[in-house]
Structure 1
Amino acid sequence: MAAHQRSSQDVIHVPTGDAIALQRQSDTGEFVGPALGTTQPKIAVALHDGYYGCTSGTGFSNRAFLEVLTRTLPPGRLLVMPVRIPRSDPSYDPAWVAETDRIVRRAEAEVVPVPGGRAATATVSGCETLCERVMEVARDRLARAPMAQLIGLDIPFLGLGPHQGTDDPFGLLLVPRSTSELASPEDRRRIRWEHRGLAGAVNGGARVAAISHHMRGHLEQVYDIPRHAVVDLPNGLLLSDHEDVPSAPLPLPARAGFLLAMGRAVESKGFEDLLEALHLLKRRGTRLPHLVLAPTTHTEDLTDYQRRLQAMVRDYAIDATLLSRFSPDYRSWLRSPALRAVVVPSRAEPFGRIPLEAFVSGAAPVVATRAGGLTETVVDGVTGFTAETRDPMDLAHAIRRALHIGDREREQMRARGRALLMARHDYEATIRSYLRQYTPWAMTLSDAERS
Structure 2
Amino acid sequence: MAAHKRSPQGAIHVPTGDAIAPQRQDGRRRVVGPVSSPTTQPKIAVALHDGYYGCTSGTGFSNRAFLEVLTRTLPRGRLLVMPVHIRPSDASYDPAWVAETERIVQRAGAEVVPVPGGRAATAALAGGEALCERVAEVAREHLARAPMAHLIGLDIPFLGLGLHRRADDPFSLLLVPRSTSELASPEDRRRIHWEHRGLTAAVSSGARVAAISHHMRGHLEQVYGIPRHAVVDLPNGLLLHDHEDLPSAPLPPRAKAGFLLSMGRAVESKGFEDLLEAIRFLKGQGTHMPHLLLAPTTHAEGLTDYQRQLQAMVRDYAIDATFLSRFSSRYRSWLRSPALRGVVVPSRAEPFGRIPLEAFASGAAPVVATRAGGLTETVIDGVTGFMAEARDPVDLARAIRRALHISGPEREQMRAQSGALLTARHDYEATIRSYLRQYTPWAMTLSLAARS
Shorter-chain TM-score range: over 0.9
Change (3 A) 1:151 1:284: same
- Say whether 1:299 aligns with 2:300: yes
Letter in 2 for 1:281: L
Match of 1:384 in 2: 385
User: What is the aligned partner in structure 2 of residue 29 from structure 1?
Assistant: none
Residue identity opposite 1:238 in structure 2 = L
Match of 1:356 in 2: 357
Deviates more, 1:14-23 or 1:244-253: 14-23
Deviation at 1:252, TM superposition (A): 1.3
Please say if residues 20 and 110 of structure 1, whose CA atoms lie closer than 8 Å, have aligned partners that are also in contact. no
**Aligned-residue offset at 1:258:** 0.3
Task: Measure the CA separation in 1 of the matches of 2:105 and 2:212.
Answer: 24
Question: Quick one: structure 1 residues 20 and 54, their matched pair in 2 at CA, closer, same or farther if it must change by over 3 Å?
Answer: closer
Aligned match of 1:30: none
Q: Which residue of 1 aligns with 2:251?
A: 250
Letter in 1 for 2:261: L
Q: Give me the whole-angstrom Cα distance separating, in 2, the residues matched to 1:421 and 1:90.
A: 33
The alpha carbon displacement at 1:326 in A equals: 0.4
Deviations 1:339-382 (A, max 9, x none): 00000000000000000000000000000000000000000000
Q: Secondary structure at the match of 1:256?
A: coil
CA contact (8 A) 1:263 1:269 kept: yes
Indicate which of 10, 15, 21 corresponds to 1:23.
15
User: Residue 90 in 1 paired to residue 91 in 2?
Assistant: yes
Match of 1:176 in 2: 177
Q: Is the 8 A contact 1:377 1:420 kept in 2?
A: yes
1:375-424 per-residue CA deviation (whole Å, 9 max, x = no partner) reads 00000000000000000000000000000000000000000000000000
SS of alignment partner, residue 149 of structure 1: strand
Q: Quick one: which amino acid aligns to residue 15 of structure 2? A: Q
User: Which residues in structure 2 correspond to 1:48-197 (within 5 Å)?
Assistant: 48-197=49-198
Q: Distance in 1 between matches of 2:369 and 2:145?
A: 49
The Cα of 1:266 is off from its aligned counterpart by: 0.3
- Shift in Å at residue 119 of structure 1? 2.2
CA drift of 1:35 comes to 11
Would the alpha carbon gap of residues 208 and 35 (structure 1) be closer, same or farther in structure 2, given more than 3 Å must change?
A: closer
**Which residue identity is paired with 2:171?**
F
Return the offset for 1:138.
0.3
2-structure distance, mates of 1:127, 1:139: 18
SS of the residue corresponding to residue 208 of structure 1 reads strand
| Structure 1 stretches of 4+ moved >3 Å | 14-21, 33-39
Percent identical = 82
Q: Secondary structure at the match of 2:66?
A: helix
Distance 2:142 2:292 in 1: 50
Deviations along 1:129-151, one digit per CA (max 9) or x if unpaired, are 10011011001000000100110
User: What code does the residue aligned with 1:218 have?
Assistant: H
Tell which deviates more after alignment, 37-46 or 258-267. 37-46
Q: Which amino acid aligns with 2:344?
A: V
Q: Gaps (5+ residues) in structure 1?
A: 1-13, 26-32
Q: Secondary structure at the match of 1:209?
A: strand
Are 1:404 and 2:396 counterparts?
Answer: no
**SS of 2:256's equivalent?**
helix
> Does the CA-based 8 Å contact 1:24-1:106 persist in structure 2?
no
Query: Could you tell me whether the CA contact under 8 Å between 2:16 and 2:111 is conserved in 1?
Result: no
SS of residue paired to 2:394: helix
How far the C-alpha of 1:34 sits from its partner, in A, is 11
Number of aligned residue pairs: give it. 432
Kindly provide the CA deviation profile for residues 94-152 of structure 1, in whole angstroms up to 9, marking residues without a partner as x: 00000000000000001000111112201110000100110110010000001001100
Q: Using the TM superposition, give the Cα deviation of residue 38 of structure 1 relative to its aligned residue in structure 2, in angstroms.
A: 3.5
More deviation, 326-335/185-194 = 185-194
C-alpha separation in 2, matches of 1:240 and 1:449: 30
For residues 37 and 159 of structure 2, the distance between their equivalents in structure 1, rounded to whole angstroms, comes to 35
Counterpart CA distance in 1 for 2:75 and 2:8 is: 26
Tell me the TM-score normalised to structure 2 length: 0.93
Contact kept? 1:34, 1:76, Cα under 8 Å = no
Aligned to 1:8: none
1:302-322 deviation per Cα after TM superposition (whole angstroms, max 9, x unaligned): 000000000000000000011
Matches within 5 A, 1:258-407: 258-407=259-408
Tell me if the contact between 2:347 and 2:390 (Cα under 8 Å) persists in the aligned partners. yes
Aligned counterparts of 2:295 and 2:237: Cα–Cα separation in 1: 22
CA-atom RMSD in angstroms: 1.7
Assess if the C-alpha contact under 8 Å between 1:55 and 1:298 holds in 2: yes
For 1:81 and 1:34, the matched residues in 2 are separated by 15
Shift of 1:251: 1.2
Question: Residues 279-337 of structure 1: CA distance to partner in whole angstroms, max 9, x if unpaired?
Answer: 00000000000000000011111000000000000000000011001000000000000
Contact in 1 for aligned 2:385/2:414 (Cα 8 Å):
yes
Native 8 Å contact 1:151 1:174 kept in 2: yes
Give the whole-Å Cα distance in 1 for the aligned partners of 2:167 and 2:86. 32
Cα distance between partner residues in 2 of 1:135 and 1:298: 29
Query: C-alpha displacement at 1:270, in angstroms?
Result: 0.4
Q: Given the alignment of the two structures, is residue 429 of structure 1 paired with residue 436 of structure 2, yes or no?
A: no
State the SS of the aligned residue for 2:240: coil
Residue 228 of structure 1: aligned partner: 229
Partners of 2:98 and 2:438 lie apart in 1 by 31
Q: Is the 8 A contact 2:38 2:145 kept in 1?
A: no
State the AA in 2 paired with 1:23: P
CA–CA distance in structure 1, aligned partners of residues 290 and 426 of structure 2 = 31
